[in-house]
Amino acid sequence: MAAPAASATTTGPRNCPRLSGSWYGDNRARLQQVIDERGTCAGHPGSHPVAAFDWDNTVTKNDVTDATLAWALQHDRIRRPARWKDTSKWLTDAADAALTEACGTAVPAGAPLPTSTNTRCTDEILEIRENAKTMSGAAAFTGDFDHRRTVPQYAWVPQLFAGHTVAELSSYASRAREEALAAPVGATRTLGTHTIAAYVRYYDQQRDLVHALQKAGFDVYIVSAGSEPVTEVWSRGIGIDARHTIAIRSVLDRHGRITTWNQGCGDVPVSQGEAIPYIDGKRCWINQEIYGVRGKAAWQRQNRPHRPAIAGGDADTDVTFVGDATGAHLVLNRNKSELMCRAYDDADGHWLINPMFIEPLPRRPAPYPCSTAAYNEPDGGKGPVRREDGSVVPDQEDTVFRIP
């Protein structure tokens, strides 16, 4: 197992910023090479190459949308919908009944639910968000949707904030951020019967990478399957503005309040979550918002000038856009099968695997089932991961799981 690089690279174009910090193996040197070759600092003025990163567990340790939802539940900021089924087109009758029973109807529709004291209500909301099931184990979502374009429980979180303004949701995210950054690494909190992470940290290495890329002339974007107002609060902390932050975009009503509808991508119009930045949806949003590709073409891989030079992620939701990168595919290992199959197969020689910088996971004991059941099919099933030529990726051992 290779040791992490210990000091900044000293070679390369004179004006290109140098990466620092501890990375696995030669990952820092390989990222530096892309910066040196593609950046405006290397004598390519006007080129503005793109770098795109997932947010949760890629730039930060832990999920900032979950942190905001937890804060909102602790402080009674979720408004009771007239009908829970109105919050998601895919919510099941069982989930509607469970939420109605647990959260009650004593509070008028549109008024805040007392989730800080009604732990049954909090439990149902968290269980549906985390596991797409009710506390009794019933499926919370059903119906037809493309599983490579959306996942209902991700779309559901912004929908839970229907009736709030963007400014209100941003303020909740800011307060949650303050608490999460103050909590010690490893801290947890208990909400109902759920134990969840109480802390969030920016990864120092990723902050340094983002700043180096910006100084080198890259346009750096965040592409997240979280709520956009929440992600914007956090991305500002590393110098990425709202224009460069792409996440789930809620449609606002005429009073400027969040609705249960989301903006669309490609040939998918405004909907209740049909096309969020999730797996192939992240490619669509990058193509549409960064490169101006419209219609069905936004779902397709573009030519090299219209793809990121560097892309980074940690989960299957990131596999498509990370694979589209032309210079480096940066992967933080969280044992997510489809992504890790691509990374370990390393078909083009540009995949870089790094353990999580804080509390890395242990080695996965069994090989990733790449040849049989790692690919996320559009219908929700599992299948083999295939290369561009159609050949099947063999099962892969997990070998990059800690910084030596």
**pLDDT score of 367 more than 50:** yes
Give the C-alpha separation, 102 to 127, whole Å. Answer: 12
Residues 227-238 have a mean pLDDT of 98
Is the predicted pLDDT of residue 250 greater than 80, yes or no? yes
pLDDT band per the 50, 70, 90 thresholds, residue 12: low
> To the nearest whole number, what is the mean pLDDT of the chain?
95
Q: What is the reported pLDDT for 43?
A: 80
Distance CA 230, CA 68 (A): 7
Residue 15 has pLDDT above 90, yes or no: no
Ordered strands of the 245-248 beta sheet:
245-248, 219-227, 50-53, 310-313, 328-333, 351-355
What percent of the chain has pLDDT above 90? 93
> What pLDDT, on a 0 to 100 scale, did the predictor assign at position 217?
94
Which residues are registered as beta bridge partners of 328?
Answer: 310
Say whether pLDDT at 10 is over 90.
Answer: no
Whether residue 213 has pLDDT greater than 50: yes
More confident call, 2 vs 141: 141
The encoded tokens of residue 230 equal 């929440």
| Span 242-257, average pLDDT | 98
Q: What is the pLDDT of residues 88-97, one digit of tens each?
A: 999 999 999 9
Q: Residue 7: pLDDT above 60?
A: no
Which distant-in-sequence residues (6+ apart) come within 8 Å of 163 by Cβ?
Answer: 79, 110, 257, 258
Statement: residue 14 has pLDDT above 70: no
For 317, phi and psi rounded to 5 degrees?
Answer: -60, -15
pLDDT in tens, 315-345: 999 999 999 999 999 999 999 999 999 999 9
Residue 244 has pLDDT above 80, yes or no: yes
> 64-74 vs 152-160: helix axis angle to the nearest 10?
40
Q: Is the pLDDT of residue 102 over 50?
A: yes
Residue corresponding to tokens 């390393």: 346
pLDDT confidence of 281, banded at 50, 70, 90?
A: very high
**The pLDDT value given to residue 404:** 60
Of the listed ranges 4-13, 102-111, 129-138, 155-164, the least confidently predicted one is 4-13
Strand partners of residue 262: 250, 271
pLDDT attached to residue 402: 79
Q: What domains are defined for the chain? A: 27-60+202-383 (3.40.50.1000), 64-197 (no CATH)
Query: How many other CB atoms are found less than 10 A from the CB of residue 335?
Result: 15
Which residue's structure tokens are 């918002």?
289
258, pLDDT greater than 90: yes
Indicate the pairing of strand 310-313 with strand 50-53: parallel
Confidence of residue 5 (pLDDT cuts 50, 70, 90): very low
The arithmetic mean of pLDDT across residues 280-285, rounded, is 98
Residue 388: CB atoms within 10 A of its CB come to 9
Confidence of residue 2 (pLDDT cuts 50, 70, 90): very low
Average pLDDT on 376-395 reads 98
pLDDT at 47: 74
List, for residues 27-76, the tens digit of each pLDDT value: 999 999 999 999 988 886 667 899 999 999 999 999 999 999 999 999 99
The model's pTM is 0.95
Please check whether residue 113 is in contact with residue 119, taking contact to mean a CB–CB distance below 8 angstroms. no
Q: pLDDT at position 64, please?
A: 98
Q: What is the pLDDT of residue 6?
A: 37
pLDDT at 48: 85
The predicted pLDDT at position 403 comes to 64
